[in-house]
Structure 1
Amino acid sequence: MNKDSTIDLARLSAMDVAHSSRLLKGVRDATLSGLRPRVRPRPVIGDSWRRMLRDGVDPDLDVRAGLLTAEELEEKRQTSPLFPLLPMLREALVAVADAAQHIMVISDADGRILWREGHPGVLRMADRLGFQLGAHWAEDVVGTNGIGTPLVARRPVQVFSAEHFVQSQHPWICTGAPITDPRDGRVLGVVDVSGPMDTLHPATLSWVHSVAQLAEARLREQLQGSLERLRSVAAPVLARMSGRALAVDPFGWTAAVTGMPPVDRVALPKSLAEGCCWIPALGACNVTPLPGGWLLMVDEEPRPLGATRIALDVSRPRRWSLEVSGAAATWAHELSPRHAELLFVLALHPAGRSASALADDLFGDGTRTVTVRAEMSRVRRYLGALLAHRPYRFADDANVTIHLPDDPRDLLPHSVAPAVSAARTRSSPGGDQSSPAGD
């Protein structure tokens, strides 16, 4: 390998496992000592190590959080949105994992291990590592690993031997992929396949990722089924109405509409209740509950919102939101990772950004304007007139506030967008920034 090359799993798998492990140990030791390693760790691993060093995780101390009690574990299992998917995950993973001397592990969104099955000998090895039912394997608890790191990075990650930040985990390889809720973009948990380091195979990452995608497809099927049931209830009601109205599920997905073009989804406030509600994409609405959702009847008398304040909150590591307040009402909406990136960049540029500039900000490629325009179209579906275009920007009369994490390095940690990466390196200690759009 060249001095400035980056380690990749294909190269490691072609080597002797012991040699691969020694190479990675040298890279890790140099990095932890503040020296420049002979080869760089993979970006997802290097980013994780930097978080661990910053947060004070001890690389030589095996620190384990308390296990859940049997009662706590069972409660989390029963309430987990992944529980109905367990038979499918078992069928797709356990038999192959057992034959390959691996185990299947499923965690919740906090990194707690809820299910664990597979090769008996590997299960005993996992016990010695603290990789047990009810254990907390979040990244800030046990360092870089195949459960906690995918939760932060929001993408599949394979962690081999000394890529684990904590030394006691070096005999291990784990490959995890997050499972995302198609209804609102939340990460529901991680599916992971783990085993001894001599079972390294780069195809495992694709396999685990495919199983996570299969789980998400099953969740989408469930979503469509619930929308069909809501549609059967709402259709007779909408047929008797003359104005604009739509039936939506609790996450804003549309089951049926009348008097207006169909839309896939409407962004709803976090706490929707019966009565009058202001929704940016629709304006003032009268809200009535339906079995399995809501009936939104658009008030045809326009109500001025007045002076508008928009608060973009990106201060938390995995939850981002937008709150809009004015004379008419206050409205809040949780953001997907991509939309959090997009709105953060727009908030940094009150005068606006062209599609080409946004493509460069997000992808480092100014030619990806089609992708940017598609995402902006989705954002405008729930922000309506609060988002202008030509160039893309927040409305001229809106006052935009960005709530940042205390440490800039915690800003959208999943993001590899050039504009976000640049913002993380700024010397600002964090806090809140205000910028009236259009200034």
Structure 2
Amino acid sequence: MSTADHEAHRTRDRVLSRPAGGASSRSATAAPRREIAASWRRVAATGLDPGAGAAIVPLVEADLERRREESGLRELIPKLTTSLASVIDAGQLVVVADPQGRVLWRLGGTGVRRLADHLGFVDGSAWTEANVGTNAIGTALVLGQAVQVRGAEHFVESHTRWGCAAAPLTDPWTGRVVGVLDVSGPSAGLHPAELALVELTSRLTSMELLERRRAELDRLRASAAPLLSRVDGDALAVDRYGRLAAFVGSRAPERVALPDEMAPGAVWLPAVGPATAEPLGDGWLLRLGAATDEVASTLVLDLVGDPSVRVRGTSGEWSRQLSTRHTEILLSLVEAGAQGRTAAQLAVDLFDSPDPMVTVRAEMSRLRRVLGSVLLSSPYRLAPAVATVLRLPDDPRDLLPRSSAPVVQRRRRTR
């Protein structure tokens, strides 16, 4: 073990042995990196023991296969294998996980796969911070950016002989994280440049997803043109993600937030009000009703089971499931009330650090595209005219179990 590795282990032992946790990085010397220190604080607050390995129960085969199909990532695996062939040849493991941190695919030789098996790093296992502590997959999902975790920077002792670098896989069309790309293996074999390689590969994958979405939109535009030419009044042709393909009339928002349970017939949409929806290829034809200045009157944040948001107006309601990050943000804003939260305050609520303000602002921009006038800025807050309802599980331990965000941990302790 090198001198640097010895020092890293001493730092880990010193910081994580502090009572009641103090995964603090405020020591003047031998402090862990700031993003690692913040992760340690988040994980320590969950009660995970750094000296004991977490129980990792993998998905059964049928559930794993269902997640693989739903991920939409299967077609990308051959290209990822080619792009990272040198990493696999060097004895590292390439892993693709879903947005919940579940391992969907592992690509690598028999030796490194066997080592991963001993850690419970198997197909279908969950590698979130809340589940297994600081690790590249879970911490990249929390931060929304590429992360490298070296040896002793892992929170759980049994993982400290391992190194990993991971980056979120983002669909630029929707702004949603659709998975995580990870390179892992014995820490002695992990090169610092692998972080840059993983980040570059994830960006190329995102660009490939973008080209697919553009091609789909072009096909929808071509099929919508003759139909729209016969429509009276305002109408939109949108793809399955709500992106505008074509329109007639005076109203043409670039994107419409569609509900999860989209179906033919009458629908109410926050951005455009009442409409009639008709299937159109892989998208929808929306015949818009009369333009109104109607705004939402009620927002229901439902955290029982899979988190979702439901927005009600006088003409109807609309709902969709939320990502973990957007759920954490809305929970923070509901708790803040009229005072709201600055970007720095939201960063502390989400990451236990004011540093990731750029990430917060990007997520708020995406969330405001969905909820529109329900969310206000400077500071970020829910519109005062909108009544808010928060639905929580009966058992506080069931609240967002994959989340390690401080705002969620506070809520678990106060009920």
TM above 0.5: yes
Give yes or no for contact 1:267–1:333 (8 Å, CA) kept in 2. Answer: no
Residues 294 and 429 (structure 1), Cα distance of their counterparts in 2 relative to 1, 3 Å cut: same
Unmatched 5+ stretches in structure 2:
348-353
Supply the distance in 1 between the matched residues of 2:403 and 2:60 (Cα, whole angstroms). 31
Match for 1:328: what amino acid? S
Q: Give 2:255's match in structure 1, choosing from 244, 258, 265.
A: 265
Match for 2:317: what amino acid? T
After TM superposition, the structure 1 = structure 2 runs for residues 107-146 of structure 1, keeping only pairs within 5 Å, are: 107-146=97-136
Matched, 1:195 2:182: no
Offset, 1:175: 0.8
Look at both structures and tell me which one has the larger radius of gyration over its CA atoms.
Answer: 1
After TM superposition, the structure 1 = structure 2 runs for residues 85-234 of structure 1, keeping only pairs within 5 Å, are: 85-93=76-84, 95-234=85-224
Unmatched 5+ stretches in structure 1:
1-16, 416-420, 432-439
Offset, 1:400: 3.4
Give yes or no for contact 2:128–2:402 (8 Å, CA) kept in 1. Answer: no
Supply the distance in 1 between the matched residues of 2:334 and 2:200 (Cα, whole angstroms). 35
Give yes or no for contact 1:341–1:362 (8 Å, CA) kept in 2. Answer: no
Offset, 1:391: 9.0
Supply the distance in 1 between the matched residues of 2:56 and 2:409 (Cα, whole angstroms). 32
Return 162-171 or 113-122, whichever deviates more.
113-122
Q: Which residue of 1 aligns with 2:351?
A: none
Q: Which residue of 1 aligns with 2:9?
A: 25
Q: Alignment partner of 1:147: what SS?
A: helix
Residues 393 and 57 (structure 1), Cα distance of their counterparts in 2 relative to 1, 3 Å cut: closer
C-alpha offsets along residues 163-196 of structure 1, whole Å, 9 cap, x if unaligned?
1122222111011112123444443222111122
TM-score by length of 2: 0.78
Matched, 1:397 2:381: no
Q: Which residue of 2 aligns with 1:59?
A: 50
Residues 393 and 19 (structure 1), Cα distance of their counterparts in 2 relative to 1, 3 Å cut: closer
Matched, 1:240 2:224: no
Q: Which residue of 2 aligns with 1:290?
A: 280
Q: Which residue of 1 aligns with 2:32?
A: 41
Q: Which residue of 1 aligns with 2:300?
A: 311
Q: Alignment partner of 2:225: what SS?
A: helix
Residues 339 and 133 (structure 1), Cα distance of their counterparts in 2 relative to 1, 3 Å cut: closer
**What is the root-mean-square deviation in Å for CA atoms of aligned residues?**
4.0
Q: Which residue of 2 aligns with 1:326?
A: 313
Supply the distance in 2 between the matched residues of 1:324 and 1:250 (Cα, whole angstroms). 20
Supply the distance in 2 between the matched residues of 1:336 and 1:427 (Cα, whole angstroms). 18
Give yes or no for contact 1:303–1:328 (8 Å, CA) kept in 2. Answer: no
Give yes or no for contact 2:146–2:199 (8 Å, CA) kept in 1. Answer: yes
Offset, 1:98: 3.0
Supply the distance in 1 between the matched residues of 2:250 and 2:227 (Cα, whole angstroms). 15
Give yes or no for contact 1:280–1:386 (8 Å, CA) kept in 2. Answer: no
Q: Percent identity?
A: 40
C-alpha offsets along residues 35-56 of structure 1, whole Å, 9 cap, x if unaligned?
6654332233223323333333
Supply the distance in 2 between the matched residues of 1:254 and 1:70 (Cα, whole angstroms). 38
Offset, 1:394: 5.0
Supply the distance in 1 between the matched residues of 2:60 and 2:181 (Cα, whole angstroms). 22
Offset, 1:116: 1.9
Supply the distance in 1 between the matched residues of 2:64 and 2:322 (Cα, whole angstroms). 29
Q: Alignment partner of 1:257: what SS?
A: strand
Offset, 1:267: 0.7
Supply the distance in 1 between the matched residues of 2:134 and 2:366 (Cα, whole angstroms). 34
Q: Alignment partner of 2:181: what SS?
A: strand
Give yes or no for contact 1:321–1:335 (8 Å, CA) kept in 2. Answer: yes
Residues 73 and 184 (structure 1), Cα distance of their counterparts in 2 relative to 1, 3 Å cut: same
Supply the distance in 2 between the matched residues of 1:428 and 1:71 (Cα, whole angstroms). 32
Q: Which residue of 1 aligns with 2:350?
A: none
Residues 281 and 78 (structure 1), Cα distance of their counterparts in 2 relative to 1, 3 Å cut: closer
Question: How many residues matched?
Answer: 397
Q: Which has the higher relative contact order, 1 or 2, with Cα contacts under 8 A spaced 6 or more apart?
A: 2
Supply the distance in 2 between the matched residues of 1:190 and 1:98 (Cα, whole angstroms). 17
After TM superposition, the structure 1 = structure 2 runs for residues 397-416 of structure 1, keeping only pairs within 5 Å, are: 397-401=385-389
C-alpha offsets along residues 65-92 of structure 1, whole Å, 9 cap, x if unaligned?
3445555544543443110111111111
Return 253-262 or 160-169, whichever deviates more.
253-262
Residues 392 and 257 (structure 1), Cα distance of their counterparts in 2 relative to 1, 3 Å cut: farther
Supply the distance in 2 between the matched residues of 1:349 and 1:299 (Cα, whole angstroms). 35
Match for 1:310: what amino acid? L
C-alpha offsets along residues 198-254 of structure 1, whole Å, 9 cap, x if unaligned?
234332212111111111111111111221222222111111123111011222111
Q: Alignment partner of 2:142: what SS?
A: helix
Return 333-342 or 198-207, whichever deviates more.
333-342
Supply the distance in 2 between the matched residues of 1:298 and 1:46 (Cα, whole angstroms). 51
C-alpha offsets along residues 275-315 of structure 1, whole Å, 9 cap, x if unaligned?
2222121111111222211111111264967x8112346x5
Supply the distance in 2 between the matched residues of 1:242 and 1:224 (Cα, whole angstroms). 27
Match for 1:25: what amino acid? H
Give yes or no for contact 1:159–1:175 (8 Å, CA) kept in 2. Answer: yes
Give yes or no for contact 2:375–2:382 (8 Å, CA) kept in 1. Answer: yes
Give yes or no for contact 1:411–1:424 (8 Å, CA) kept in 2. Answer: no
Q: Which residue of 2 aligns with 1:256?
A: 246
Residues 127 and 427 (structure 1), Cα distance of their counterparts in 2 relative to 1, 3 Å cut: closer
TM-score by length of 1: 0.74
Match for 2:12: what amino acid? R
Q: Which residue of 2 aligns with 1:12?
A: none
